[in-house]
Amino acid sequence: MSSRDFRTSILAVGTALGLAFSAAGAAAEDLTILSLGGNYQENQSKYWFKPYAEASGVTVKEAAGYNFANLKVMIQSGNVEADVIDLSADSVNALAKDKLLEPIDWKSVPQSCLAGIPQDMRHPYAFPTIQWAMVMAYNTKTYPNGPKSWADFWDVKAFPGKRGSIGATRPPVEQAAMAENPDIAKLYPFDIDKAFDKIAALGSDIVFSDGYAKVVQFLADGEVDMIVIPNGRMVPMVAEGKPVAINWNQHLRYPNFFVIPKGAPHAEAAKKFLNWVCEPERLAALAKPTNYGPINVDAYKFIDKDVAPLLPGNPATAAEGRVADAEWLGAHRQDIARGWARLGVR
Amino acid sequence: MAETMAHANDAAASAAASPAPRRLSAGRFPAFLIPVLVFYALFFGYPLARIFWQSVHGEDGFTLVGFEMFFEEPAYWMVLAYTGALGLVTLSITLVCGYAVAYWLVTMNRSWAVMLMAFVLIPFWSSGLVRTYAWMVILGRQGILNSVLLDLGIIDTPFAFIGTNTAVVLALAYYLMPYMILSLYSVMNGIDRNLMLAARSLGASPIRAFREVFLPLTRPGVLAGCYIVFMLGIGMYITPAMLGGPQQTTLPLMIAIQINEAMDWTFAAALSVILLMVTGGMQLMANRFLDFERLWGGAK
């Protein structure tokens, strides 16, 4: 290639890039929302994203599925492709620590939204939406008098049968700690090594899987009789009338948040969306189809009496569990990873 | 043919007998290599350098904490040892089975061989995830294998294959088998089988002819196959993740946990560097003790 050819092609590439950038710049009334996919996002789309697009005239684009690694790289590199991201509490804390999130201006949030949000959920960098809960689900045919606590989950004599849980990524250390010490108020801090000893004590009575979908499948297929599972995952089985029940005692709640990443191309549009979606009535719409509970307590005014008991954080069962300490967990992820490695070589 | 025989008997003689490879003239840099070099520098060299950089950089600048964490925890050594052992066992199985299949393919009628070769290649068309999932269907508690064993009365209760070494090794060996077969087949196909006949006519038994003529000639294919299968085997993520339990945690799984869950990228990078060092070290050893000139040169 001669040097002139080379220069021409550089120019061509440069022009193409320039066009691409100006095209992105022209569509200012766009909003891209990145969420978690699945049934959850389908309902978010149906009850939040599409109605907002209609009401505001903004073009809402959706993207689904990410992992923490590519999210962090995306924001760090400055090539941000999302304006609003649905995030778990520990991801929020990790990204906030690295200053990769836009602060939430709580003063500008409408009073009708603010009133029902508990004080400790008003995160400086994230807007709380729903919460899910890690619960115990069991086969009601195997256990007509179902297990009532994590101590029962570990009691293979009183409740013979296999147990199932997600493994490597989220081993049930908190549940093991609660089996030892049932006082949920004093769950954190707990001894992670002891918790792994407790998990190891179950031996071959517990089956691990690398995904929640498979854990649910294990219960559905009768491979196991008792599982540790996020409550929303049980919705289809319960709806089909399968012989399964959820034990809410000692559940752990995990809030989810909407965040605006640093460098979001349409940060202002994102703020407008948050101030729209935050209304309790809109938050309430997701309750029935997903069984995830609104964090805004005012939303319960708009939720059916028969749906409310299925939701994490509803007034009837909230006291039986607690919010997981994402900060403590985040600080101890490394110990949990090491514990998992040790569990493998015992 | 004279050249191939020389290979089998004496590497030095072979080097002397074969014509010296045409070298590019030393003074001129081959310009046509520039795009490839740029591509590699950007998409391989740079990311690799970043991993090395990340492995010694924490929140407060330079640190060796990632490597310390590895060397202070025997459980992580065991994970590394398990990863290597898994690679070796998989390698042995694919070598024994793959050798038999490749030999059978080169000895059979050509049109049949082409058709059967297609069966070896078909699995390449579907994703590794799907193929691993197929093993879950076969090995599950209510899977095909368990129902057959139950129906035949060989077992009374379903056997939990998933979460065992058996499941992981089986699926890994299945996944990597085509690489071994292809490496062996390409070399075996180039071997003149008159050599075996010559050995027989000179009084060697069929077994001896195979052992002393055919087997040494397939050495380049064996080495290349072993090399590819081992490298891919220790780096596989999906198979141990889906079919293994806590006892089947491999180094790639640990790296994934560090990136996505523990969110400790310094440690993740350190683990990656360690894995790279181990494979790099093995390559050096292989270069030293196995004759690579002959390996690549022989596969003509």
* Mean pLDDT computed over B76-91: 93
> In residues, how long is chain B?
300
Q: Quick one: CA torsion of A189, A194, A196, A201, rounded to 10 degrees?
A: -140
> Once rounded to an integer, what is the mean pLDDT over residues B49-58?
92
> Is B38 near chain A, with CB under 8 Å?
no
A54-95 pLDDT tens trace: 999 999 999 988 888 889 989 999 899 999 999 988 889 989
Q: Is B254 within 8 Å of A94 when comparing Cβ atoms?
A: no
Say which range, A124-128, A159-163, A214-218, has the weakest mean pLDDT: A214-218
pLDDT at A236: 85
A281-317: pLDDT as tens digits: 999 999 999 899 999 999 999 999 888 988 999 988 8
| Residue B9, pLDDT score | 41
A286 contacts A258 by C-beta, under 8 angstroms: no
Which of A7-16, A211-220, B27-36 comes out lowest in average pLDDT? Answer: A7-16
Look at residue B133 and tell me if it is in a domain. yes
Q: Which two tokens stand for residue A157?
A: 């004599």
Task: Tell me whether residues B263 and A333 touch, CB distance under 8 A.
Answer: yes
The number of C-alpha atoms within 13 Å of B169 and in the hemisphere containing its C-beta is 16
pLDDT for the residue A4? 46
Residues 71-100 of A with CB under 8 A from B: 94
| Whether A2 contacts chain B with CB within 8 A | no
Closest Cβ opposite residue A341 in set B254, B259, B263:
B254
CB A208 within 8 A of CB B245: yes
Domain of B177 in residue numbering reads as 61-295
> What average pLDDT does range B15-35 have in this prediction?
64
User: pLDDT over 90 for what percent of chain B?
Assistant: 36
In this prediction, residues B244-255 reach a mean pLDDT of 89
> How confident is residue B264, by pLDDT bands cut at 50, 70 and 90?
confident
Residue A171: pLDDT band with limits 50, 70, 90: very high
The dihedral built from the CA positions of residue A57, A59, A63 and A68, taken in this order, carries a sign that is negative
Using the predicted structure, report yes or no on whether residue A163 has a pLDDT greater than 60: yes
User: Is B186 within a domain?
Assistant: yes
Does A2 have pLDDT greater than 70? no
Establish if B160 belongs to a structural domain: yes
Distances (CA, A) of A131 to A55, A89, A257, B241: 26, 10, 9, 28
Q: Residues near B155 by Cβ (< 8 Å), separated by ≥ 6? A: B146, B149
- The pLDDT of residue A10: 47
Q: Is residue B135 part of a domain?
A: yes
The stretch B252-259 carries a mean pLDDT of 90
* Chain B CA closest to residue A196: B246
> Are B141 and A221 within 8 A, CB to CB?
yes
Q: Is A3 on the interface with B (CB under 8 A)?
A: no
Across the strands, what pairs with A31? A60
Q: What is the pLDDT of residue B21?
A: 53
Q: Decide if B48 is inside a domain.
A: no
Least reliable range by pLDDT among A45-54, A190-199, B27-36, B75-84: B27-36
Q: State in Å, rounded, how far the first CA of chain A is from the last one.
A: 61
Q: What is the model's pLDDT at position B26?
A: 60
Our count of domains for chain B comes to 1
Distance of CA A99 to the CA centre of its chain: 21
Does A6 have pLDDT greater than 50? no
Question: What's the N-to-C CA distance of chain B in angstroms?
Answer: 11
Q: Give A33's strand partners.
A: A62, A84
Query: Mean pLDDT lowest for which of A27-36, A72-81, B22-31?
Result: B22-31
CB of B203 closer than 8 Å to CB of B158 = no
pLDDT in tens, B182-214: 999 999 988 888 888 899 899 888 889 888 888
β partners of residue A61: A32
Report DSSP state, residue A261: B
Residue B22 within a domain: no
Within a domain: B33: no
Cis peptide bond upstream of B240, omega within 30: no
A169 near B CB under 8 A: yes
Distance of CA A63 to the CA centre of its chain: 16
Contacts of A204 in chain B (CB under 8 A): 160
Q: Which pLDDT belongs to residue B20?
A: 52
Q: What is the CATH number of the domain that holds B280?
A: 1.10.3720.10
Q: Between residues A1 and B279, which one has the greater pLDDT?
A: B279
Nearest CB to B262 within list A204, A208, A337: A337
List Cβ neighbours of B215 (8 Å cut-off, separation of 6 or more): none
**Amino acid letter, B200:** R
Look at residue B58 in the predicted model and tell me its pLDDT.
82
User: Residue A329 and residue B4: Cα distance in Å, rounded?
Assistant: 63
**DSSP result, A46-96:** IIIIHHHHHHH--EEEEEE---HHHHHHHHHHT----SEEEEEHHHHHHHH
Residue B32 within a domain: no
Q: Round the average pLDDT of chain B to a whole number and report it.
A: 83
Q: Which helix (H) or strand (E) holds A137?
A: strand A127-139
B58 touches chain A (CB under 8 A): no
Report ipTM (2 d.p.). Answer: 0.70
